[in-house]
Each structure stands twice: as C-alpha cells, then as structure tokens.
C-alpha cells in the first residue's frame, strides 16, 4: 500500500526523522518518490497511520493512496466518476483538498478544479457537501494546516492531490500532526523554563533518531526542564536524567511525575555532572542517550569567527568529557544523539565537530543520509543541520552508535 508523508517547514529534518522511524518500525518500507516537500512510501506490512504520525514531530500529514492516473485529464475524470471514499456524512459534510508537487502557478487552479469536480461527484451521489476554503490564503498557503485539520475535523475528509514522476495521485488524509498535543505538553507541565527549553519538535526528533522501543532505558544527561524526558516518556520509555542545576533537577522530577501521573521520578533524575555519568548510573545500562548540552547564548549580532572559535573551544571539555562518560553507561549498539552548535558567519562556518572525539572514545557515526539524499537536501551524510530562516546558531545533530 502506498502513502504520502507531507513534510513540515524543516524538510530535511522531517525526511531524516521519517527514514529513521520507518527503518525501525517498518524495515520493508520503501521510499518510492522523494520531493522537497513530501515523500511517497510503499509499505507491505499493515501500516498504522495514526500511530506512525504520533511519532513524527516534523511531518504534517499522512495520506493513503486512493488511485493514480497518468495524466491530469484522466485524474479529473476519475475524480468525477469514481466513488471517492472520503468519509462524508450528514453531520460531517465539510471536505478539503490539498495539493502538492505542482508548479506554484498551477497550484491554485488544481485546487479549484479538484474541489469543484469532487463536489459534483458527491452531489450526483446524493451527498450535499461544503468545501473548506481559506478566505484569504497567504501565498502558497492554500493547503489546510494541521491545526485546521483538527479544528475542522478533516481527517478522512481531505483529498491530497499530488504530482510525482509525471503521475497524478489521489490520497485520503489518514492522520495529521496534532499541534495542540505539543502545545498542551509545553504549556501545562508544572515546571517551565521557556527560553532555555529544547523545542518539543526537536526533542521528539532526537528521541526518534535513537530507534528505541517501549520500556527501554533512556537518558538525558543535560535534562534541564525535562523536555526530552517527556517526549521519551510519551513513547513509553523508562526515563533517566541528570543536570548540574538543582532547580532543573527538581523541575524535571515534577514534570516527569506529572506525565506519569504518579511520583517516583526522583529515583531516576539526579543532580550531577554529565562528564561523570558512571558516578551516577550503572555501567552498560542505557539503550539510548539524547541531549542538547550547553549551546552558545542567544546572539543578535554574529561575533567574529575568531571570537566564535574561542567560545567553541570553551565548550570542548564538557562535550568531550560527556562523550567519554556516556560511552561507559551505554549498552553496546545503543545510540547517542547529541546537538552541538553550528554558526554560519560571512567568512566561514564555525562549529563544534564531535565525530573525531566520538570515534576515539569508541563510537561509530551513523550516516543519516545517503550521498544522493544529502545532495538533494543540501545537507551532509554524517550530521543533520536544523535551522529556521534567520536562525544564527544552528543545531548540528549527530547520531553515534556504541561499537
Ligand atoms: C540547553 S539546556 C537543556 C535543555 C533541556 N533539553 C530542556 O528542554 O529543558 C542545557 C542544560 O545543561 C545543564 N548543564 C550544563 N553543564 C552541565 C554538566 N556538565 N552536566 C550536566 N548538566 C549540565 C544546564 O544546567 C542546562 O539545564
């Protein structure tokens, strides 16, 4: 069966997350078409769209294939004549259309013709429907957002039209990212530390890249307010953490107890130094470790590359010491996912390279992309760069495996 996965704004991140999560849960799955904004996948095994979307924090929608045609005329004919199984009823008669893979100047027209054709088809079958149309859509924003999908209850009632490899595909929206779940998790947790939190989107990504399973042992040694611990807990892992800051330790315990709906996290979250993990936890114990250690402080103006190199140099003892100590508490084959800073200046890129030290300590670097995929997304094979448009300090995300 074929499915479309629609990426969010951070498309390379979404793709790496998709690849890693598929590989772990659906090893027979194949990515049969890759676009900058979506992928079409073929999965033989029973695919649970809702469960899979629940894991993905960087993809917006999953649709299941209804039919495909070789030309657009034939596509519209099928849309007009075929029974298109959107879940329309008297109570739920609002439907929507989203369009992907067409040239920008064609997109609005495709939206319109597909929506009109589909409405005629429904009407001939005795179904009175309404079309969800944005009144004044911003440029390129004709498609429903995940928030709109939830508010307007469009799962099962959105047709995803897609052009790929000169074929035209119709998918039914089967699952969408629930932005309110992340917002609730962020807003409702008892301990907050807004400016220093790792965003939930990144936290879930880091956990996904570990390819861990329920009930396995996860560690965040720079746990701060516990955002990664909450993300891992939501996926059913046993969570452990440490931080040098007493308030953060107390806050993380409060947050994890809150999500667990019982007390007990104080046994697994401790005050301590990430460069001395063997003093805090058992050797060879963890199935996965992920963290965002100290990044550079937020900056408005990029300092000179010399100043940045000095600042990066100061981070080395913590990062390198942490790599050594993490190796001792991880099981063989377990993964470590770590964020380090990367700054693009007008002269050159300044970053903290962790791969050499990781290799000396006994890790191998997991290649996140093939050479071709890296070229396609303008990324590297060995690490992922995640950033938004004007973000000065970017996240360089490595995945290592204990040899
Ligand atoms: C970028 S924050 C982590 C944010 C965290 N992921 C969250 O969402 O709240 C880095 C954290 O590392 C802690 N830290 C700094 N040096 C440390 C060390 N050597 N060992 C353990 N924790 C450390 C800081 O107190 C801070 O809470």
Question: Which ligand 1 atom lies nearest to the CA of residue 321?
Answer: 19
pLDDT band of 141, cuts 50, 70, 90: confident
Lowest mean pLDDT among 71-80, 189-198, 221-230, 329-338: 189-198
Which distant-in-sequence residues (6+ apart) come within 8 Å of 167 by Cβ? 68, 69, 70
Q: What is the CB neighbour count within 10 angstroms for residue 159?
A: 22
Share of the chain above pLDDT 70, in %: 98
Surface-to-core class of residue 347, CB atoms within 10 Å of its CB (0-12 exposed, 13-18 middle, 19+ buried): exposed
pLDDT band of 200, cuts 50, 70, 90: very high
What pLDDT shows up at residue 194? 79
What pLDDT shows up at residue 361? 98
Report whether residue 13 contacts ligand 1, using a CB cutoff of 6 Å. Answer: no
Is pLDDT at 186 greater than 90 in this prediction?
A: no
pLDDT tens digits for range 14-52: 999 999 999 988 999 999 999 999 999 999 878 999 999
Q: What is the mean pLDDT of the chain?
A: 94
What pLDDT shows up at residue 217? 98
Is pLDDT at 295 greater than 80 in this prediction?
A: no
Question: Which ligand 1 atom lies nearest to the CA of residue 245?
Answer: 25
Share of the chain above pLDDT 90, in %: 83
What pLDDT shows up at residue 137? 67
Surface-to-core class of residue 93, CB atoms within 10 Å of its CB (0-12 exposed, 13-18 middle, 19+ buried): middle
Is pLDDT at 286 greater than 80 in this prediction?
A: yes
Report whether residue 275 contacts ligand 1, using a CB cutoff of 6 Å. Answer: yes
Report whether residue 252 contacts ligand 1, using a CB cutoff of 6 Å. Answer: no
The domains located in the chain, with CATH, are 2-177 (3.30.2130.30), 184-402 (3.40.50.150)
Report whether residue 273 contacts ligand 1, using a CB cutoff of 6 Å. Answer: yes
pLDDT tens digits for range 323-380: 999 999 999 999 999 999 999 888 889 999 999 999 999 999 999 999 999 999 999 9
Average pLDDT over residues 56-65: 98
Report whether residue 320 contacts ligand 1, using a CB cutoff of 6 Å. Answer: no
Q: What is the CB neighbour count within 10 angstroms for residue 371?
A: 10
DSSP secondary structure code for residue 108 in this structure: H
Is pLDDT at 195 greater than 90 in this prediction?
A: no
What pLDDT shows up at residue 215? 96
Report whether residue 294 contacts ligand 1, using a CB cutoff of 6 Å. Answer: yes
Average pLDDT over residues 308-333: 96
Q: Phi, psi (5° rounding) for residue 278?
A: -65, -15
- Contact between 8 and 60 under an 8 Å Cβ cutoff? The reply is yes
pLDDT tens digits for range 243-274: 999 999 999 999 999 999 999 889 999 999 99
- Contact between 53 and 43 under an 8 Å Cβ cutoff? The reply is no
What pLDDT shows up at residue 389? 84
Kindly write down the DSSP assignment for every residue of 12-80, as one continuous string: HHHHHHHHHHHHHH-TT-EEEEE-SSEEEEE--S---HHHHHHH-SSEEEEEEEEEEESSHHHHHHHHH
**Cα of 95 from ligand 1 centre, angstroms:** 46
- Contact between 142 and 131 under an 8 Å Cβ cutoff? The reply is no
Structure tokens at 270: 């401790």
SS3 211: coil
Closest CA to 322 of 280, 287, 350: 280
Question: Which ligand 1 atom lies nearest to the CA of residue 291?
Answer: 6
Report whether residue 318 contacts ligand 1, using a CB cutoff of 6 Å. Answer: yes
Question: How many angstroms from the chain centroid is the CA of residue 137?
Answer: 25
Report whether residue 227 contacts ligand 1, using a CB cutoff of 6 Å. Answer: yes
Name the pTM for this structure. Answer: 0.95
Report whether residue 243 contacts ligand 1, using a CB cutoff of 6 Å. Answer: yes
Q: Which of 206, 244, 250 to mutate to test the pocket of ligand 1 (most atoms within 8 A of CB)?
A: 244
Average pLDDT over residues 99-114: 94
Structure tokens at 165: 């490899």
Is pLDDT at 87 greater than 80 in this prediction?
A: yes
Q: Which of 201, 222, 231, 232 to mutate to test the pocket of ligand 1 (most atoms within 8 A of CB)?
A: 222
């Amino acid at each position: 069966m074929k499915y479309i996965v629609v990426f969010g704004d951070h498309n390379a991140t979404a793709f790496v997350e998709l690849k890693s999560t598929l590989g772990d849960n659906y090893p027979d799955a194949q990515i049969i078409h890759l676009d900058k904004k979506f992928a079409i996948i073929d999965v033989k095994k029973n695919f649970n769209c809702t469960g899979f979307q629940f894991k993905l924090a960087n993809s917006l929608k999953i649709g299941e294939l209804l039919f495909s045609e070789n030309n657009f005329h034939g596509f519209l004919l099928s849309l007009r004549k075929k029974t298109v199984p959107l879940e329309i009823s008297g109570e739920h008669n609002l439907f929507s259309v989203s369009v992907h893979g067409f040239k920008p100047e064609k997109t609005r027209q495709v939206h319109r013709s597909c929506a009109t054709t589909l409405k005629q088809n429904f009407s001939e079958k005795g179904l009175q429907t309404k079309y969800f149309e944005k009144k004044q859509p911003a440029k390129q924003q004709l498609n429903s957002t995940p928030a709109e999908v939830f508010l307007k209850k469009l799962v099962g009632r959105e047709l995803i039209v897609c052009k790929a490899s000169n074929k035209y595909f119709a998918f039914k929206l089967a699952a969408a990212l629930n932005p309110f779940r992340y917002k609730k998790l962020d807003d409702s947790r008892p301990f907050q530390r807004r400016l220093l939190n790792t965003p939930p989107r990144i936290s879930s990504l880091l956990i996904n890249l570990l390819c861990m399973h329920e009930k396995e042992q996860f560690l965040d040694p720079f746990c701060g307010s516990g955002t990664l611990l909450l993300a891992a807990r939501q996926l059913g892992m046993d969570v452990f953490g440490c931080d040098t800051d007493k308030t953060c330790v107390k806050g993380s315990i409060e947050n994890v107890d809150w999500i667990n709906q019982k007390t007990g996290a104080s046994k697994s979250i401790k005050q301590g130094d990430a460069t001395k993990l063997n003093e805090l936890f058992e050797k060879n114990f963890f199935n996965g470790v992920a963290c965002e250690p100290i990044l550079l402080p937020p900056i408005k103006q990029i300092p000179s590359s010399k100043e940045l190199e000095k600042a990066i140099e100061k981070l080395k003892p913590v990062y390198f010491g942490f790599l050594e100590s993490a190796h001792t508490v991880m099981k063989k084959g377990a993964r470590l996912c770590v964020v380090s800073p990367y700054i693009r200046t007008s002269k050159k890129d300044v970053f903290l390279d962790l791969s050499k030290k990781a290799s000396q300590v006994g890790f191998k670097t997991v290649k996140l992309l093939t050479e071709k995929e890296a070229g396609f997304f303008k990324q590297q094979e060995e690490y992922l760069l995640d950033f938004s448009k004007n973000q000065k300090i970017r996240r360089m995300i490595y995945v290592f495996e204990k040899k």
